[in-house]
Amino acid sequence: MRTLILLLFATLFLFGCTHTPERALNALEADNASIAGYGEIRAYRYSPRNEVLASHRDWMVKTHPNDKNILMISGGGASGAFGVGVLAGWSATNTRPRFDVVTGVSTGALIAPYAFLGSAYDKTLVHLFTSGVAQELVAINGPFGVLGSSLLKPEPLKKHVERSITPTILNQIAAEHRNGRRLLVLTTNLDTQRGVIWNMGAIAASGNPDALKLFRDVIVASASVPGVFPPVMIQATSNGRQFQELHSDGGSTSQILTPPLLVENALFSKTPVQQKVNLYVIVNNALIPEFNVTPNRTVPSLGRAYATFLKSQAQSELTALYNHARRTGANFNLASIDVQIPYSMLNPLDRNYMQAVYRLGYEQTTSGALWKDTPIFPLKLLQPVSQ
């Protein structure tokens, strides 16, 4: 979520100065909306437990009754290259598990489908996050972009996802879903101010002719930082009437998508075989305090405050997940960027930075120094390391 924060806040003074045509939609319709032709493919975060269990039974993990492995990949913009390095290094050590559940938020949503399908796609991820092709996403939306829906043009991100999520990828995800594994992605419904969990495998396996488009739209929405990339319109239905919902970056509601109650119900249910549940969290960001002399001006102050809020949000979510793991007996494993690597807001998808955090993730994984079993957040300031 470090992407273009300064540019984003530079537009705040224009908020409310422009007007776009409103969509005809009321709160009751929004609350009861569904995606026609797909069944129960999504759920709101924090939905009542009984409601979710009753209406989303096909979300349950149905893999073998042995140990369960859950991978959660956070947002982080260019820092997503760290998570790619972790996955590649994990494969190199021949210790990477086959995940029963993979979840992704924002940049993590771009990585999650490949992480779900396994080590065979490591080279694809490495190319996407270290070769410099990510620079193609930075296309300024003209001098008046701040007056429209976004600072950057949406086409590069859409084309990136279209190239990445092919019919072959969709079919492979559908097959794994039928085998009982689950791939989940988080978006934020801007109309309802709720996080929406999408069962991506169920979309892929739906047989709906528009499944590929919806799958891609959800990925693009989850990765669309508000104001930087435009929100994504997703067609929904309520009481027989169709309308469009506005979905954006999942990181607006949570940096980490923890498995919903329904999945947990399956994972921690009693079985004839004693299960171990292994939680792996890749935070594509620094949880340490990062020193920076902040200019005493409006935009830098706002950008710095927002970045600090996101860091604090991730720390709180990790603490809650750790406490949950202790209560349930699950194994907690955390990976994050624990050194300060120079980063420029003026070049948010800098190839050198992405390669540096990739190497960090890869080397820490292969050396065995990556995973932490407690969410400890150091207070001591560190000096930036060279790339």
Residues marked as catalytic: 106, 249
Question: Do 1 and 312 form a contact (C-beta atoms < 8 A)?
Answer: no
The tokens of 378 are what? 């150091």
The structure tokens 């990790």 sit at: 318
> Strand runs (DSSP E) across 87-218, as ranges?
101-105, 182-189, 194-199
Element containing residue 285 per DSSP (H, E)? strand 277-286
Q: How many Å is the Cα radius of gyration of the chain? A: 20
Amino acid at 130: T
Q: How far apart are CA 102 and CA 115, in angstroms?
A: 7
Pairing verdict, β 42-44 and 194-199: antiparallel
Q: Which has the closest alpha carbon to 56: 44, 43, 47, 37?
A: 43
**Residue 215 and residue 204 in contact, taking contact as beta carbons nearer than 8 Å:** yes
Q: Which residues are CB-neighbours of 106 under 8 A, at least 6 positions away?
A: 1, 74, 75, 76, 77, 222, 223, 225, 249, 250, 251
**Spatial separation of the C-alpha atoms in residues 190 and 249, rounded to whole Å:** 9
Count CB atoms within 10 A of the CB of residue 209: 8
216 backbone dihedrals φ, ψ, rounded to 5°? -65, -40
CB neighbours (10 Å) of residue 130?
Answer: 20
In the 8-state DSSP scheme, what is residue 146? G
**What is the DSSP code (8-state) at residue 71?**
E
Residues in the chain: 387
